Amino acid sequence: MERYARVFFLPLFLFLCCFSFFFVYGLAANSSQLVPVQRDIMTNLSKSLPTSQTIGVWNTMKDPCRWVGVTCSPPPSSVVTALALSGFGLSANSSLVARFFDLLCRLHDLKSLDLSLNFLTTIPSSFFSSNCSGLSGLESLNLSHNVFTGPLPSFSGFGALQSLDLSYNSLYGPLDSGLEKLTRLKLLNLSGNFFHATIPARVGGATAPSLEVLVLSAARLHGEIPERIFDCENLTLLDLSQNNLTGSIPDGIERLSKLEVLLLSSNNLTGIIPTSLATIKTLSQFTANENHFSGSIPRGITTHVSVLDLSNNSLTAEIPSDLLSPPNLEFVDLSSNLLEGPIPGNWSQSRLYLLRLGGNKLNGSIPSTIGKLSSLTHLELNDNVLGGEISSGLGNCKNLMLLDLSSNQLQGHLTKELGYLEQLVVLGLQNNSLTGEIPDELLKFRYLSTLDLSQNLLAGEIPQAISNLKELSVLNLQSNSFYGSIPDSISSFENLTELQLANNNLSGTVPRMPGSLMTALNLGSNLFNGHIPSYLGDLSQLEILDLSNNKFSGEVPTSLTTIQSLIELDLSDNLLSGVLPNFPSFVRVITTGNKDLIISNSSPNTNTTSSNTETKKKIADVFVMIEAFIGGFIVSILVAVVIQKFLNRGKSNHQNARRHALHSNRPFPENSIERLRRFQHWQYARNLSLR
């Protein structure tokens, strides 16, 4: 009997528990947790929002503590402690703005107010004054990404403020006005404004002794970095990037013993990189790229740093032998400097995933120990004076996605070990002295998007297996010694947008091309013959078609006129004949060097020296008419020239006509790697504010 009682009462007990829970929860949901005064304020606030986007959301629930963006203290006597109205569509054009901010001032327990990502242009001046005494306890204020204009407000009523974000507005004027009373600030972000001012010394120092995060990037600041800014000894993040700051980094930066992130990029700073930076043990990120720093890179600067960007400066001397060896190093960009000497090869197993040393004067060979960098995903050694063969050690960098060794003096064959780089997306080896054929190992990449082998000494036929590179979008083999015909498999590419095969010894007829071609198809300066295939007109997205300096004959197919995206067509120096079809006016057609090609008068956009008989006769008649007129004039000029040459003792200047080279070599496609210029310092800063 007891057993059956358990079976009967247990489900009943569970039902009553669930019913009680949902009953109590329903009561709580329909009764406000807020104290009556604040409940009334929030009710009025919902009716005064200067937007129509969120009123419905705020009216759907009776308890304001459950409204979107509202945070309250625990019950029973709850008060509103935070309002996050970011992206609510708040607009200053509404007549409700003054009422809205007046109500905010009555939320005496509010600690955090976020009005970012709205369309506010002005805030009533009373909000920032002592009249808004209700917000005297506010600790965090975020007004970023609005359209505020004018100078900085006074903030006289916000003495407890610890975090202030006014970034990405249209504020202007001096930075020291209005901030002098914010003595408890830990975080200040004024980036993305139009101050056109200098950095005042009292942004730091006694004005804000507790300041931990100072972000003044892209704020149109000029002048020098004040030394007193280093009095803020609690600073962990200092961002002065993207301004017009001049002068050098002041002495005393080592006083910032807690500094973790220092961003000085995109200014006009000069002088040397201080050696004292190496003594800041907490420093993990240092970027000073796009300045005018000179001198050598200090030794030990990467002992603690994980991210170092000194690119686009005027740094000289050799790379310190210890710079690339620290195990915590992740990102190094020293590109576009005047560095010389060999690449240090004493690196250990590290976290380094990006190494950019391009655009310097580095010499020697690529160290064989580079294979130890197993985490490397981006390696750029382009535009140096590196010689020798491509290091087989690169084959051990199996996480490489981008490898750029272009514009060096590399020799030898394409090493088969490159085929081990299964993750490769971009391979740039152009403008070297590489020889031999394309090995089969380089035709197995699953993700390769750009392959540039141009301007080398490569030979042999283009392999049929090149179509195995299914993801290829740019293929550049121009200015080599490839021969034979273009493989028919070329048409199977589905993503190819640019094909550069100019300046080789390719022959035969042109096969069908992939319909995905968009940027360019360059077959100039080869040995192709026969008629121009009409199916080239199927390349509806193509912008540039270069068939120049070959042996094409016959008429120009009218199908080429249907390529709607075409802006340039080069047919020069062939054996073409017949009448040139009429192309749209926006297409530049080059036909020089085709003596039997007839150009109609309706082709004003055509650059030609056609030998049309009638045209030639008219030109000849003109020359006969003017010959007699200018004959005597030329003789007199020659006499004058002889006299002048004698007076100048044989000194003369000769000007040689230059013909624009249509087949100029295209540079390596723009790097697909977006530089690590800006870090997620705001997320970092927010974490600091929550400490």
Cβ atoms of 319 and 298 closer than 8 Å: no
* DSSP letter (8 states) at residue 583: P
Report which of 146, 97, 145 is spatially closest to residue 123, judged by C-alpha positions: 97
Higher pLDDT, 339 or 651: 339
Cβ atoms of 498 and 519 closer than 8 Å: yes
What is the per-residue pLDDT for 665? Answer: 35
pLDDT for 407-453, tens place per residue? 999 999 999 999 999 999 999 999 999 999 999 999 999 999 999 99
Cβ atoms of 583 and 562 closer than 8 Å: no
∠107-45-119 over CA atoms, to 5°?
Answer: 100
What is the per-residue pLDDT for 673? Answer: 36
Q: Distance of alpha carbon 644 from its chain centroid, rounded?
A: 57
Higher pLDDT, 499 or 53: 499
Higher pLDDT, 295 or 94: 295
Per-residue pLDDT band for 605 (boundaries 50, 70, 90) equals low
For residue 446, the tally of other CB atoms under 10 A from its CB is 12
Tokens, residue 541? 């997205």
pLDDT of 636 strictly over 80: no
pLDDT of 516 strictly over 50: yes
For residue 170, the tally of other CB atoms under 10 A from its CB is 13
What is the per-residue pLDDT for 350? Answer: 77
Average pLDDT over every residue of 487-501 = 97
pLDDT of 657 strictly over 90: no
Cβ atoms of 75 and 33 closer than 8 Å: yes
Residue with tokens 């170092």: 308
pLDDT for 181-204, tens place per residue? 888 999 999 999 999 999 988 774
Lowest mean pLDDT among 155-169, 351-365, 476-490: 155-169
∠292-294-296 over CA atoms, to 5°?
Answer: 145
Per-residue pLDDT band for 25 (boundaries 50, 70, 90) equals very low
Cβ atoms of 450 and 427 closer than 8 Å: yes
Residue with tokens 């006074």: 154
Cβ atoms of 524 and 479 closer than 8 Å: no
pLDDT of 664 strictly over 60: no
What is the per-residue pLDDT for 270? Answer: 98
Cβ atoms of 253 and 278 closer than 8 Å: no
Q: Decide if domain 28-142 falls under CATH 3.30.70.2750.
A: no
Average pLDDT over every residue of 458-472 = 97
Average pLDDT over every residue of 618-636 = 39
Got the DSSP string for 194-251?
---EE--GGGSGGG-TT--EEE-TTS-EEEEPPGGGGG-TT-SEEE--SSEEES-PPT
pLDDT of 616 strictly over 60: no
Question: How far is it, in rounded angstroms, from Cα 232 to Cα 254?
Answer: 12
**Amino acid sitting at position 647:** L
What is the per-residue pLDDT for 655? Answer: 31
pLDDT of 404 strictly over 50: yes
Strand 498-500 relative to strand 354-356, pairing = unpaired
Report which of 531, 519, 535, 526 is spatially closest to residue 670, judged by C-alpha positions: 519
CA distances to 1, 22, 24, 424, 638 from 10, in Å: 14, 19, 21, 63, 122
What is the per-residue pLDDT for 207? Answer: 56
Average pLDDT over every residue of 350-360 = 95
Write the CATH number of the domain with boundaries 449-627+667-673: 3.80.10.10
Question: How far is it, in rounded angstroms, from Cα 423 to Cα 399?
Answer: 6
Collapse the DSSP code of 436 into the 3-class scheme (helix H, G, I; strand E, B; otherwise coil) and give the result.
strand
Question: How far is it, in rounded angstroms, from Cα 159 to Cα 135?
Answer: 9
Most distant pair of Cα atoms in the chain: their distance:
138
pLDDT for 97-145, tens place per residue? 888 899 999 999 999 999 999 999 988 888 887 778 789 899 999 999 9
Higher pLDDT, 276 or 649: 276
∠575-497-420 over CA atoms, to 5°?
Answer: 115
Q: Distance of alpha carbon 412 from its chain centroid, rounded?
A: 34
Residue with tokens 């064959």: 413
Q: Residue 680: how many CA atoms within 13 Å on its side-chain side?
A: 4
∠543-548-550 over CA atoms, to 5°?
Answer: 135
* DSSP letter (8 states) at residue 528: E
What is the per-residue pLDDT for 535? Answer: 97
What is the per-residue pLDDT for 461? Answer: 98
Strand 527-531 relative to strand 433-436, pairing = unpaired
Per-residue pLDDT band for 48 (boundaries 50, 70, 90) equals confident
∠261-264-266 over CA atoms, to 5°?
Answer: 140
Contacts of 249 (CB under 8 A, 6+ apart): 225, 264, 269, 271, 273, 274
Share of the chain above pLDDT 90, in %: 67
Summary mean pLDDT of the chain: 84
Collapse the DSSP code of 605 into the 3-class scheme (helix H, G, I; strand E, B; otherwise coil) and give the result.
coil
* DSSP letter (8 states) at residue 490: G
Residue 416, phi-psi category: left (phi > 0), alpha (psi -120 to 50), beta (remainder): alpha
Report which of 216, 220, 309 is spatially closest to residue 265, judged by C-alpha positions: 309
Handedness of CA 531, 532, 537, 539 (dihedral sign): positive
pLDDT of 689 strictly over 80: no
Residues in the chain: 691
Higher pLDDT, 95 or 396: 396
Core vs surface per residue 412-431: b (16+ CB within 10 A) or e: eebbebbbbbeebbbbbbbb
Cβ atoms of 574 and 553 closer than 8 Å: yes
Residue ranges per structural domain of the chain: 28-142, 449-627+667-673
What is the per-residue pLDDT for 679? Answer: 36
Question: How far is it, in rounded angstroms, from Cα 387 to Cα 433?
Answer: 9
pLDDT for 235-274, tens place per residue? 999 999 999 999 999 999 999 999 999 999 999 999 999 9
What is the per-residue pLDDT for 56? Answer: 63
- Return phi, psi of residue 40, to 5°: -65, -40
